Amino acid sequence: MAESDIPHTPPLLLPDAIHRAVNPGTALLRLETTRSREGLLDGAWWPRTRDIETELPALIGVLTGHLGPITRVGVDASAWNALPPRLIIDDQVVHLDSDPVGDDTVLITRGHNDHFALLVVPPDTTADAAREAMARAVRADNITEAAQILIATTPGPEDAGAGDPAART
């Protein structure tokens, strides 16, 4: 069967109620803690700002509830206003590593070598684009890299002005 003969299936979106409820600061997670984790990303996060000291504690708090203690977070320092070497979150030291992962991914580490990759949706992303990007990232069969998801879901210049910035809040 030729590639052109394969029917195109649109990406599965989140249920409508969840889709409408996703706001800045939200983390959507698909956490598979087995060796058979599939897909490139384990979840998505839409921080409100580029201030890591403000944004990261809430994310780590949610993740700790599902994964246990988080020991390290890898981020691209150029994506954030400042990057301290570590933060104390809920009485736990979390080391911050400046990795060349790009500002579209954050790497969460628990234990010595168990990593979770989350898409980071830029804070200034429109609500519709953020929701679509996050829905794509959490699909179990996702094989698209984070940067490509963001490119595919970002409105082009022809769409400028089509969104309602007030809808982000």
Higher pLDDT residue, 90 or 163? 90
Range of the domain at 106: 19-30+37-153
DSSP secondary-structure letter at 144?
S
Number of structural domains the chain divides into: 1
Q: Decide which of 85 and 42 is more confident.
A: 85
Domain assignment present for residue 12? The answer is: no
On the question of pLDDT at 148 being above 90, the answer is yes
Q: Considering the domain boundaries, does residue 103 fall inside one?
A: yes
On the CB side of 10, CA atoms within 13 Å amount to 6
The set of residues, in sequence order, having a beta carbon less than 8 Å from that of 54 and lying 6+ positions away, is 48
Q: Is residue 11 a part of any domain in this protein?
A: no
Q: Report the pLDDT value the prediction gives residue 29, as an integer from 0 to 100.
A: 65
Q: Is 55 contained in some domain?
A: yes
CA pair distance 23, 167, nearest whole angstrom: 9
pLDDT in tens, 91-113: 999 999 987 666 688 888 887 77
pTM: 0.74
Please report whether residue 14 resides in a domain.
no
Amino acid occupying residue 70: I
Q: Is there a domain that residue 77 lies in?
A: yes
In a domain, 139, yes or no: yes
Residue 77 to residues 35, 37, 62, 124, Cα–Cα distance (Å): 29, 27, 22, 18
- Residue 6 scores a pLDDT above 60: no
Q: Is residue 144 part of a domain?
A: yes
29-39 average pLDDT score: 58
